[in-house]
Amino acid sequence: MKKTKFQKPTGMHDIIFGDQKYFQSIISTVEGVSDYYGFSKIDTPILEDEDLFLKGVGEATDISEKEMYTLKTKGGDRLALRPEGTASVVRSYIESGMANRPQPVKLYYIGPFFRHERPQAGRYRQFYQFGLEVLGDSNPVIDAQIINIVYSILTDLKLKNISIEVNSIGDKECRNAYKKTLVKYLKSKSSLLCSDCKRRTKENPLRFFDCKDPKCQAVKAEAPKIIDNLCEDCHSHFKQTLEYLDGLELPYQINPCLVRGLDYYTKTVFEFFVTTKEGKSLALGGGGRYDYLVKLLGGKETPAVGAAFGIERIMQAMKDMNLIDGPKSKDKVFLAQIGILAKSKSLVLIESLRRAKIPVVESLGKDALKIQMTKASRIGSKFIIIIGHKEATENSAIIKNMETGRQETVALDKVVSKIKKG
């Protein structure tokens, strides 16, 4: 294809035409379900203080090390395009004094996020996420409820073959002790590790479990797992969460290697996958508990749990499964007109059709009836409304039923009721 003068930035994309149908149906489902469960919508700025993310997400994470879009303002502030939503929500929770409201505070968001990643299938530099966060409740029932709410969103969108992986990565106490055990093990296997994992051993050993390098897989399989090293509190929190998930009959499995790529998690972590038609596993979203983040970012100690999903990934899965019905072309009425007066009457009639929720297609800018009728037959509308010169002066319209071939002239103010009758 010939290069145009301007192109979209690498890794970014337009959401146009058919894709908007998927996009909008995801947004309205998220809004409907979140509202039902008592979540309020939160919109935060696209730009935040860079340190919010460095501190929140963790300095030794992929996001902080290489994926942030940062800029220096004319005033000298260092800002970052938000790579994720949780740190912003927590910043707002602290800054607007949400701790003084009845707890827990339940919030959801939908919007664009930015990560300077290597573009590949399902991985963009600007992508959309929706997320839900519950702040101010430590009960494991909330962990299970969040998992269930996002599962409901996916099943309301009619997605099938969803699987959920869960794990617990413990709290400060048990994780620090476990890290020492893990580092000792990794050091003993150092010669078998990839160069990234050698570095991770020093900087952020848990991240070793994210490594996809074939070299490290055998070491991973044999590695001591956090789930076998939980303290009593974390163990019982995890056990309770799983029991609630069992009660909900959700399709989950425990993955002892699941650690997630952000540093703020404690206890429960989870990820959702869907199997594509090529049989591949696509990560749709994930989340977990983050009981230390509010304090870390300057607030009071506040337990919290949440999840976020990639909207493009969900769109991809929906397309894969052919999931959008929308109004069928056949259900759309075609409105043809000839002449200035007929165009004027058509504008008014379209308003009545819209209010009656009858989808209509027209070619108001065209004059030739033949062109308009060709378009109507391409769409395959059951009804064609025609307002010619004569009908326009007589305040009437011809309604043609393309299935039976019958046509009749009716008063303009009776068109809607006539079409509704079918």
Q: Which residues bind ligand HAM (CB under 6 A)?
A: 84-86, 115, 117, 122-124, 127, 129, 131, 133, 261-262, 283-288, 290, 306-310, 312-313
Which residue bears the tokens 């409820």? 145
Q: Which is nearer to ligand HAM, 54 or 338 (CB)?
A: 54
Q: Which is nearer to ligand HAM, 143 or 362 (CB)?
A: 143
CB of 360 to ligand HAM, least distance (A): 36
CB of 232 to ligand HAM, least distance (A): 25
CB of 158 to ligand HAM, least distance (A): 18
CB of 312 to ligand HAM, least distance (A): 5
Neighbour tally for 327: CB within 10 Å: 10
Q: What is the distance between the alpha carbons of residues 400 and 422, in angstroms, rounded to a whole number?
A: 11
Q: Which of 72, 137, 52, 58 is nearest to 103 (CA)?
A: 137
Q: Which of 249, 263, 265 is nearest to 167 (CA)?
A: 265
- The CA distances from residue 410 to 23, 163, 369, 400, in Å, are 39, 55, 19, 11
CB of 116 to ligand HAM, least distance (A): 9
CB of 129 to ligand HAM, least distance (A): 5
Q: How many residues does the chain have?
A: 422
Q: Which is nearer to ligand HAM, 205 or 310 (CB)?
A: 310
CB of 311 to ligand HAM, least distance (A): 8
Residue type, position 236, single letter: S
Neighbour tally for 396: CB within 10 Å: 20
Q: Which is nearer to ligand HAM, 285 or 299 (CB)?
A: 285
Q: Which is nearer to ligand HAM, 273 or 383 (CB)?
A: 273
Q: Which is nearer to ligand HAM, 242 or 269 (CB)?
A: 269
Q: Which is nearer to ligand HAM, 115 or 207 (CB)?
A: 115
Q: What is the distance between the alpha carbons of residues 12 and 192, in angstroms, rounded to a whole number?
A: 38
Contacts with 53 (C-beta within 8 Å, 6 or more apart), sequence order: 63, 64, 68, 80, 82, 83, 84, 87
* Exposed / middle / buried, residue 240 (Cβ in 10 Å: 0-12, 13-18, 19+): middle
Contacts with 415 (C-beta within 8 Å, 6 or more apart), sequence order: 349, 352, 353, 385, 397, 399
Q: Which is nearer to ligand HAM, 119 or 326 (CB)?
A: 119
CB of 304 to ligand HAM, least distance (A): 8
Answer positive or negative: Cα dihedral of 88, 90, 94, 98: positive
Residue 133 · residue 303 · CB < 8 Å = no
Q: Which is nearer to ligand HAM, 49 or 62 (CB)?
A: 62
Which residue bears the tokens 């994992």? 197
CB of 131 to ligand HAM, least distance (A): 5
Q: Which is nearer to ligand HAM, 306 or 388 (CB)?
A: 306
Residue nearest ligand HAM, Cβ-based: 310
CB of 113 to ligand HAM, least distance (A): 7
